[in-house]
Structure 1
Amino acid sequence: MKELVENMVQWLQQQVKEAGVKGLLVGVSGGLDSAVVAHLIKRAAPDHSLGVIMPCKSNPTDIKHANDVVASSNINDITVDLTATHDTLFTTISQQVTEKQEWQEANERLADANLRARLRMSTLYTLATNYNYLVVGTDNAAEWYTGYFTKYGDGGVDILPMVELTKQKVREVAEFVGVPDHIIHKKPSADLWEGQTDEAEMGTSYDVIDAYLQGRKIPEKDKALIEKLHKRTEHKRNGAKHFHIGYPL
């Protein structure tokens, strides 16, 4: 584990050097993955790392946990409350579309949740520009493979240090770097709406996805679901499709 963490820290330092920037920042949600990244970037750039807490109608417990991460990592931090910004923008959009009688109530919760994620992305990049930092993503292997992230939201980052780590491996790294136990063992949630949990939304567990990615046998229904999620979210991993003109200009 010591070797893995040292290699990850060195990789982060190399990304800073190659990009010609000063440091690294991450959105700190109070969850496991962002907690690990906060600890890693503090190690990689002790004087030039930033943890950003971005409440948006958030569970107060998650905000407390985010502050616990700041304390345990000793990372420089800033809090930007996006609740009012989200309310203004979402209300304006929904009112305009409702006036056209085209508002789709069935899609309202997802549109609301994705807007939160994209406002957080915009906040991180605004801060990154100010500090001349890279935005560090928090996706692990299970989330990346199943596409469990918002396109141009939490998926909108510069670098992904944990994208090849299973959720279990992330937990092991968390224990090694000193993430508080209550964060390591809490139910994973993207804080998209009240009571939301990652595993309930995905329809399977991280342990099962980890097993699938490691080539171990899992129930057929879970295998079918994971493969369906992977295929359906391919566009998130590939970015925008390009039109090829087919002849020299």
Structure 2
Amino acid sequence: GLSGGVDSALVAALAARALGPEQVIPVIMPYHSSSPDSEADARTVAASLGLEPLVVDISPQVDAYFERFGDADRGRRGNKMARERMSILYDMSWTHRALVIGTSNKTELLLGYGTIHGDMAHALNPLGDLYKTQVFAMARALHLPRRVVEKAPSADLWEGQSDEQDLGFQYAVVDMLLYHLVDERRTRHELRNLGFDDAFMDLVGARLRDNQYKRRLPIIAKLSTRTIDRDFRYPRDWGR
């Protein structure tokens, strides 16, 4: 899915470099409340990479569903939009015998900023081990359109929506904490010495713990000696 944001732009660029533009199908999926700038930016990215975008408006199916649930809040509507986009991408996957490439970065995955079976559904994810600030740096290094790299990150689920407002902190700050906490495994005492206050560490730590379920396969009730999610675990299936 090509949204017009920096994450999907970087994924498109990496895929085009690795596979060739003719092997990449960018799908632009606006909703009627989406900013026209988002679609324009997505088209700019596609053109700069030599890609032919497919545009599918998700408004009809989303609006048809919420005609029955008119009191649905923004969060519920946003999740529905993400899952409609997932449904379209996997339909395109079947149609073109192609794989769905994810666009969630490490910051989003750790903090649970994504929708299960929505934007978190994919076959492979090139950005999953890159923090958001690293995504920005890589996008600049690959000379992606400046406007896309410099605009405020937004899922564009409603007018004025901002990722950093939803999260409650800036990427530059939370990425630094996550790096020291997750990658370097610093202790609470060491993090304090680096300048992080307890309230911020508690908030981020709670999000990490609360969203662990989004980062793993569904738990299977263990009844045998070889249970798929904990005992039968291989990099690839036998005979392939």
C-alpha displacement of 1:225 = 1.4
Give the aligned partner of residue 115 of structure 1: 80
Inter-partner Cα distance in structure 1 for 2:202 and 2:5: 28
2:116 is matched by which residue type in structure 1?
Answer: K
Give the aligned partner of residue 205 of structure 2: 227
Gaps of 5+ in 1: 1-26, 96-104
1:30 aligns with 2:4: yes
C-alpha displacement of 1:246 = 6.0
- Which SS does the other structure have where 2:25 is aligned? strand
1:32 is matched by which residue type in structure 2?
Answer: V
Contact 1:72 1:178 in 2 (8 A): no
Inter-partner Cα distance in structure 2 for 1:191 and 1:77: 19
Inter-partner Cα distance in structure 2 for 1:41 and 1:226: 32
Inter-partner Cα distance in structure 1 for 2:197 and 2:50: 42
1:56 aligns with 2:34: no
Report 1:35-114 matches (<5 A): 35-46=9-20, 47-57=22-32, 58-92=34-68, 94=69, 105=71, 108-114=73-79
- Which SS does the other structure have where 2:99 is aligned? strand
Inter-partner Cα distance in structure 2 for 1:206 and 1:114: 22
2:57 is matched by which residue type in structure 1?
Answer: D
2:127 is matched by which residue type in structure 1?
Answer: M
Q: By percentage of residues, which structure has more helix?
A: 1
Inter-partner Cα distance in structure 1 for 2:175 and 2:73: 31
Inter-partner Cα distance in structure 2 for 1:77 and 1:59: 18
2:93 to 128, 149, 155: 128
C-alpha displacement of 1:219 = 3.2
C-alpha displacement of 1:220 = 2.6
1:213 aligns with 2:187: no
1:168 is matched by which residue type in structure 2?
Answer: T
Normalising by structure 2, we get a TM-score of 0.83
Normalising by structure 1, we get a TM-score of 0.80
2:12 is matched by which residue type in structure 1?
Answer: A
Measured against aligned partners, the alpha-carbon deviations of 1:206-242 in whole angstroms (never above 9, x if no partner) come to 1112101221633332221111111111111113221
Inter-partner Cα distance in structure 1 for 2:160 and 2:147: 18
1:190 is matched by which residue type in structure 2?
Answer: A
Gaps of 5+ in 2: 181-190, 227-240
Give the aligned partner of residue 171 of structure 1: 136
RMSD of the alignment, in Å?
A: 1.7
Give the aligned partner of residue 152 of structure 2: 187
Inter-partner Cα distance in structure 2 for 1:184 and 1:219: 30
Inter-partner Cα distance in structure 2 for 1:159 and 1:171: 20
1:199 to 164, 186, 204: 164
Give the aligned partner of residue 144 of structure 1: 109
2:222 is matched by which residue type in structure 1?
Answer: H
- Which SS does the other structure have where 2:76 is aligned? helix
C-alpha displacement of 1:178 = 2.4
Tell me which of the two structures has the higher relative contact order, counting C-alpha pairs closer than 8 angstroms and 6 or more residues apart: 1
Measured against aligned partners, the alpha-carbon deviations of 1:95-144 in whole angstroms (never above 9, x if no partner) come to 6xxxxxxxxx5x62211110000000000000011111111111111111
How many residues of Structure 1 are paired with residues of Structure 2 in the alignment? 211
